Chains A and B, each alone.
Chain A
Amino acid sequence: MEMFFYGFMQRAIQASVLISLVAPILGLFLILRRQSLLADTLSHVSLTGVALGMMLNVNPTWTNLLVVILISLLLEWIRNVYHSYSEISIAVLMSGGMAFALFIMGMNDSMTADLNTFLFGSIVTISPLQVKFLYVLTIGIVLCYIIFKRPMYVLTFDEETAHTTGLPVRLMSILFNIITGITIAIIMPIVGSLLVSAILILPAAIAMRLSKSFNGVILFAMGIALIGMLGGLYISYDLGTPSGATIVLLLLSVFAIVLIGEKINQFLIEHNRAND
């Protein structure tokens, strides 16, 4: 119980709850738009933003936000150029982002240690300012979801039909990428560049196996994200393991349990049917 009395743990718990609300919303749309790797790309590109900030002696969060927004626009452009092979944009920008970050780091060796913080992240070192950023981000994304859920549903189901209903498909896609980029830029120092996409994608991916309806998936995903984030935080505190990695491992365990449970359920149904 003593963990709840530490200021850093109180901030970590708040951050966990806030990320659990945001991650499933973005994660589900990323999966359904077949952009699961977008989060990975933007998190790699984020490292360039961080490295740039360190090189210029500016708060890395701001340079990171700027770089991620620019790359989000570029992503949508490349996605349209290679319409049928849109994953090319992911490959190009992921390696490009990493290469830029390594190049800038190579020019200044003292950056390496700081950059490790962004690579692996730590929810327990989250600052009060980062918590404030997260509150603003969560309120913004939840409000956007409530207001734009229907247009996003139609856009995500089929872009061509969305176009014929008069929705501004291109603009919505760009804004979605920018919002994803901003989220990653804010979450990355907390969970780490290497694990941010897992935290966005896994809760929604698990919930898709558990609910038939769209709203049901979002709610299940939020519940799963809460279990993963808070459970992972508790375990990492207890065992002294890295928080980001523990959270992802816990989510992967839930993923495995759900898949195995599904198979057992299927087997039992077929077994009962055969007996009847």
Chain B
Amino acid sequence: MHYIQVNDLSFHYGEEAVLDDISFCIDPGEFVMLTGENGAAKTTLLRNVLGLLTPTTGHVTISDKNYKGKKISIGYVPQQVAAFNAGFPTTVLELVQSGRYPKGRWFKRLDERDHEHVQRALKSVGMWESRHKKIGELSGGQKQRISLARVFATDPDLFILDEPTTGMDEESRQKFYTLLKHNTEVHHKAVLMVTHESYELRPYADKHIHLVRKEDSPWRCFSMDLCNAPSKRQS
């Protein structure tokens, strides 16, 4: 079973072709990194995968069920600098707790298990002590971390992450990759992650999708160069 299947996807902004001939699939337990130069339409590809944009041709299928046969859940972290709603009147704890709502908690009280998930998520990114702070009081790096905590609190089957390590130091990045790898190997989660740190992430990734410019296109159009990364971490 594939969590994500992309077939012959192309995407145009008006007349201008941006993505062409994109096909790949992501299975449970796979860690996939997506790279490309600045402006290589990596975020556009993610937004097509998520259904936020509609492909011009081809199609994207996201499985309804996870590998256990239950409803699949998706955790998405957009590029933070642009997306974070810093003026929103909410505490760190409230925001991370909202990550539990899609787990059948839209209309139910959070139980002990939900609170454990939230606590673990906040501790995993080192933000437990700041849980009562207003999100507007946080630094850029802290905002990034609570966005990740929110996704970890959701405990999704499929992580879709757009440059989630921007602003993190190297030690934090390595911890973060290890945590994601643990999730794929032990809990059969799937990860699709846009990154500029391909040299760092390569040892963790099972698959590498690299977007390269199509020389024969009159537009600044990108296609994929799929190369398989080592499946085991080379430590």
A64–B24 CA distance with the chains assembled, in angstroms: 53
CB nearest neighbor in B for A163: B52
Q: Does B106 sit at the interface, judged by CB under 8 A? A: yes
Given contacts A160-B52, A160-B76, contact A212 B89 (CB under 8 A): yes
Name which of B33-41, B91-99, B190-198, B211-219 contacts chain A: B91-99
User: How many chain B residues touch A (Cβ–Cβ < 8 Å)?
Assistant: 28
- Cβ contact within 8 Å between B74 and A164: yes
In this assembly, does A214 line the interface, its C-beta being within 8 Å of a C-beta of chain B? yes
Distance in angstroms from A78 CB to nearest chain B CB is 20
Q: Encode contact with B along A24-39: 1 for CB under 8 Å, 0 otherwise.
A: 0000100010000000
> How far apart are the CA atoms of A214 and B50 in the complex, in Å?
28
Provide the B147-179 mask, 1 if CB < 8 A to any CB of A, else 0.
000000000000010000000000000000000
Complex CA gap A112/B101 in Å reads 51
- Judged by a CB distance under 8 angstroms, whether B231 is at the interface is no
Beyond A150-B107, A151-B101, A153-B98, is A214–B83 a contact (Cβ under 8 Å)? no
A212 in complex: contacting residue of B105, B106, B133, CB < 8 Å: B133
Q: Does A135 contact B (CB under 8 A)?
A: no
Does A276 belong to the interface (CB within 8 Å)?
no
- Tell me whether B78 is interfacial, beta carbon within 8 Å: yes
Residue in A154, A164, A215, A217 whose CB lies within 8 Å of B160: A164
Q: Which residues of A contact B85 (CB under 8 A)?
A: 32, 157-158
Interface presence of A240 (CB below 8 A)? no
The chain A residue with its CB closest to the CB of B102 is A165
Q: Nearest chain B CB to A210's CB is how many angstroms away?
A: 9
Nearest residue (CB) in A for B90 is A214
Query: 9 other contacts beyond A150-B107, A164-B75, A215-B94, with CB at 8 A cut-off?
Result: A150-B101, A150-B106, A157-B88, A158-B83, A160-B50, A165-B102, A207-B89, A214-B90, A217-B89
List 5 A-B pairs, minimum CB-CB distance, nearest first. Answer: A212-B134, A165-B102, A164-B76, A217-B89, A214-B90
Point out residues on B near A: beta carbons under 8 Å.
47, 50-52, 73-76, 78, 83, 85, 87-91, 94-95, 98, 101-102, 105-107, 132-134, 160
